[in-house]
Amino acid sequence: MSSYESHIAQERLVEATNEAEALRALETAHDMLHADDVAKPEHTYFRLEEFSIYRPSGWTANKRHAGELVSLDQLLRHGGGSSGFLVDGILSCGEERHQIQGAVFKTLTVDGYGADVFSVHDKICIQSHSAELRDVWYQFGSPAPQYRRYYKPFLWLAHFTKCFVEYLLETERVTLRHFAREAQFATWLRRCYGNDAQYAIWCSDNGLLEYRTTVAANVGFLYKEAYSIDRKLCNQPLWGEIDPVNLTAIPAQRNIEQQTIVTPFAYDLFKRMYFSNQLKQLPVTDPVLWQEVRRRKEQLKLTPLGAIARCKGPTPEGSNTSETSTPVVQEGDVVAVKADSEGVWKVSTEFWYAYVQRIRTTTKGNVRLEVLWLYEPKDTTLGAAYYPFSNELFLSDNCGCGSEAISLDQVLCKVAVEWGSTDPAAVPGFFVRQKFCTVAEEDRYSFETLKDLDFMCICKAPADEWSECLRAYKVHETVLVLRLRLTATSGVNLQGDAYEPGDEIFADLSDGELAELEGMVHGGLDPAEIVGFNSDMHAVEVRPFRRMTDNSTATASAPNELLLGRERIQLPAARIVRKCHVRLFDEVEIREKRVPCPYDRGGTGNCFFLARQTSTLPPPAFKAGFDPAAPGRPKLRGMGIFCGGGNLDRGLEDSGAAEFDYAVDWAEHALHSYRLSSKNPHAQYFLGSVDDYLTAAIAGSSTNPSIAKVGAVDLMAGGSPCPGYSALNVNKLSDQSLKNASMVASVVAYVDFYSPKYFILENVVTMTQGMGANKDENVFSQVLAALVALGYQVQQFLMDAWSYGSCQQRYRFSGD
């Protein structure tokens, strides 16, 4: 006996009778009640009170859910409930009352479709097997207390279903968009039932402004009801968008290509990897298309098409080291020195290369060269990855200046370097087009196009904090300031001022002083408006905003909702951390949670908001932050590959920077979800393999509108299948794993072919670990190498979803 059954056994009000006996007695009562009626009622209804509905024991093979209470909308749905449900309750007719128990039923009807009144209370009936034989219906009254929490939501849904079916009956070409906020369905609903009191109650019960989720979540029940009313309703396009067993809104493409299709460039970059047997290279053979691809790369100053094939000359390394006399070196030269095998730097090479930023002569007459080291690809995060251009070097932020400067007699020779060249095949010696930047403590690395400032180390341009601050910020701009509060139990003296526990510290603390105060101060970043600069004190006067959440009465507010502050404080320039966005919104927008992205993300992106004052006070003077609704800003045209349900692409769209026109994935359910959550009515979907897609794109002759043309994609986003790398995959060398892993080469091939302006790749962290039979192949480094070799600037991040407002810990790396 299930827990539910034992529970009701104690509560039994009326002695349970056999259902057939109960029916006989009730029918007798019914006959007597209607003995004097001229016209007999068409159907016989008995009232069912105190009812509970639950699953029979045969529901699943393992009987796990036997006896479980269940909502009526689950009846006869796909994948369960085919044996019907059981009902307990009290059947009555007039004064005659009988407890029934475990009556099996499969038939549920909701009457009242097409009626002018909104309510379907008292119109929901079931028919058990025994009742069916006698053409008797059980009409629901009030549920048993333990069943109320199932019945109430079902009643809500039954009302929705009535309206849904009626709407379908009256409307042609219904799609899910009709159920969006303020769309056709909502308008229709108000027109039909806006004056019905029951409708008003129903509305206030759910507070919904749109019904798309309701439709999608209850598609099984809605379909069953629509089918039972009129089979023709099942031809509405809506079902093909949402019915998980019959999705047809996006046509499926035939899968022809079994291998991973890549461009010759991508093939060259990945042909040494453990999954290379999965790759098949496909060159562009159509001359017109070839020119388009070439022109696109030229426009974006990327590596020219076919550079690898043309770049097979000898490595220029140490080509003229036979010079015997010390060469004449000038500032701006590049020199080679012998690699230092004793030092801290790893030595895998014979020579080191350095850019001479300054030459000075010591008091003893020695000539010293202050340098910036140039890295070979293997000295960067590309590591052991194969890099196709052996004549490319990277300027670094690693300098040899001051006491680290090298002496002239260490120089073996001067080296010819072409700065800023984009064609590796067109330079006789080395070329440098990017700087490799490191913030090792934050695990942050990037390859960036050379700038003039890169040719001098920051040690030589000592930052004047104050002038830097004056240059960076203006009055009325909004910034994040670091505020520090003394949390120690006793007071401290800092720079002649005494601070008591709880005091805010305004002193300009050195790194040493800060280290000494470790554990005694607590600080955080707060948004503030700059109101002035105090040049005498080298201090910035700011007016901090207050946070709504600091008000004990407003705990439900977003953490980034602010109030205007009155307090003005002076802080040292070093406490101004960075700019932030603060924007005013109407009170009603905030209350109805209609604050637009990115202001609706709890402070992510340094975005804050506050309510616009309706009083006659003059508007606040601070400079309003980024306006997501500003017209006229062209959006990057996006393409999502391996896009799945589209979370990454939707996030990028939310940022306001992009709109996705193309989506490619072969998961039917995921891509249909993508389609429904996209706001772009012109988006094109390809439900099929990325290999077939790229084959068609490279052939150049497809008329399929979902195949993007070269030049149509500004922003490409993709996360190639992670199962090949996931830590949960125990066999990373199986054919399936190899195929999945090889898809990363496909991603590179897409970038090579389409040359987007921006590309974002997201994947699991294990992709950055050693792979292959000997665990010595780093797929991530190889992807970076490919992107750098294509001529892109690349940034890599290790990110954790919970730092970005998601309630999960989920590290991802991302390169763009």
Residue 332 CB, shortest distance to Zn ion, in Å, is: 16
| Distance (Å) of CA 237 to CA 229, 233, 244 | 17, 9, 14
Residue 398 CB, shortest distance to Zn ion, in Å, is: 9
Containing 50, the helix (H) or strand (E) segment is: strand 44-54
Nearer to Zn ion, 357 or 737 (CB): 357
User: What whole-number distance in Å separates Cα of residue 263 and Cα of residue 279?
Assistant: 10
* Contact yes or no for 21/45 (Cβ under 8 A): no
* Contact yes or no for 175/238 (Cβ under 8 A): yes
Question: What does DSSP assign to residue 56?
Answer: -
Nearer to Zn ion, 457 or 747 (CB): 457
- The closest of 4, 87, 81 to 46, measured between CA atoms, is 87
Active site (annotated) includes residue 192: no
Interface pattern 391-420 for Zn ion (x via CB under 5 A): --------x-x-------------------
Residue 333 CB, shortest distance to Zn ion, in Å, is: 17
Containing 87, the helix (H) or strand (E) segment is: strand 85-93
Judged by CB under 5 A, how many residues of this single chain contact Zn ion? 4
Strands 758-763 and 444-449: unpaired
Amino acid at 224: K
**Residues in contact with 267: Cβ distance below 8 Å, sequence separation at least 6, in sequence order:** 279, 281, 745
Interface pattern 414-453 for Zn ion (x via CB under 5 A): ----------------------------------------
What does the block give as tokens for 361? 């002569």
Query: Sign of the CA dihedral 761, 767, 770, 771?
Result: negative
Residue 460 CB, shortest distance to Zn ion, in Å, is: 6
Nearer to Zn ion, 307 or 399 (CB): 399
Helices within 14-116 (DSSP H only): 19-33
User: What whole-number distance in Å separates Cα of residue 453 and Cα of residue 402?
Assistant: 19
Residue 458 CB, shortest distance to Zn ion, in Å, is: 7
| Distance (Å) of CA 204 to CA 112, 209, 217, 323 | 21, 11, 20, 89
CA angle 659, 665, 668 (to 5 degrees): 115
Residue 454 CB, shortest distance to Zn ion, in Å, is: 12
Range list of β-strands (E), 339-456: 351-361, 367-375, 392-400, 406-407, 411-414, 417-419, 430-439, 444-449
Nearer to Zn ion, 282 or 334 (CB): 334
Q: Which of residues 117, 245, 426, 459 is near Zn ion by CB under 5 A?
A: 459
- The closest of 224, 296, 146, 260 to 738, measured between CA atoms, is 260
Residue 355 CB, shortest distance to Zn ion, in Å, is: 12
User: What whole-number distance in Å separates Cα of residue 604 and Cα of residue 595?
Assistant: 14
Nearer to Zn ion, 453 or 617 (CB): 453
Nearer to Zn ion, 401 or 747 (CB): 401
Is the link from the previous residue into 287 a cis peptide, with omega within 30 of 0? no
Q: Which of 125, 580, 643, 722 is catalytic?
A: 722
Q: Which of residues 284, 393, 395, 457 is near Zn ion by CB under 5 A?
A: 457
Residue 331 CB, shortest distance to Zn ion, in Å, is: 14
Nearer to Zn ion, 399 or 786 (CB): 399
Residue 400 CB, shortest distance to Zn ion, in Å, is: 7
Residue 438 CB, shortest distance to Zn ion, in Å, is: 14
**Phi and psi angles of residue 744, each rounded to the nearest 5 degrees, phi first:** -65, -30
Count of CB atoms within 10 A of residue 464's CB? Answer: 11
Candidates 85-93, 457-465, 565-573, 771-779 — which segment interacts with Zn ion by CB under 5 A?
Answer: 457-465
Nearer to Zn ion, 305 or 399 (CB): 399
**Residues in contact with 655: Cβ distance below 8 Å, sequence separation at least 6, in sequence order:** 597, 598, 605
| Interacting positions 362-381 with Zn ion (CB under 5 A) | none
Nearer to Zn ion, 340 or 776 (CB): 340
| Interacting positions 561-600 with Zn ion (CB under 5 A) | none
Q: What is the CA radius of gyration of the chain?
A: 36
Q: Each residue of 414-424: b (16+ CB within 10 Å) or e? A: bbebbeebbbb
Candidates 32-40, 281-289, 459-467, 699-707 — which segment interacts with Zn ion by CB under 5 A?
Answer: 459-467
What does the block give as tokens for 639? 């393409």
Range list of β-strands (E), 302-366: 334-338, 351-361
| Distance (Å) of CA 40 to CA 24, 61, 791 | 18, 45, 86
Q: Each residue of 327-363: b (16+ CB within 10 Å) or e? A: eebeeebbbbbeeeeeeeeeeeeebbbbbbbebeeee
* Contact yes or no for 158/120 (Cβ under 8 A): yes
Nearer to Zn ion, 397 or 477 (CB): 397
Residue 362 CB, shortest distance to Zn ion, in Å, is: 17
Residue 443 CB, shortest distance to Zn ion, in Å, is: 23
520: Cα separation from own chain's centroid:
38
Nearer to Zn ion, 372 or 509 (CB): 372
DSSP bridge pairs for 486: 521
Residue 371 CB, shortest distance to Zn ion, in Å, is: 9
Nearer to Zn ion, 468 or 800 (CB): 468
Nearer to Zn ion, 403 or 809 (CB): 403
What does the block give as tokens for 14? 């009326």
- The closest of 390, 404, 413 to 336, measured between CA atoms, is 413
What does the block give as tokens for 181? 């906020």
Give me the active site residues, please. 722
Which residues bind to Zn ion, rule: CB under 5 A? 399, 401, 457, 459
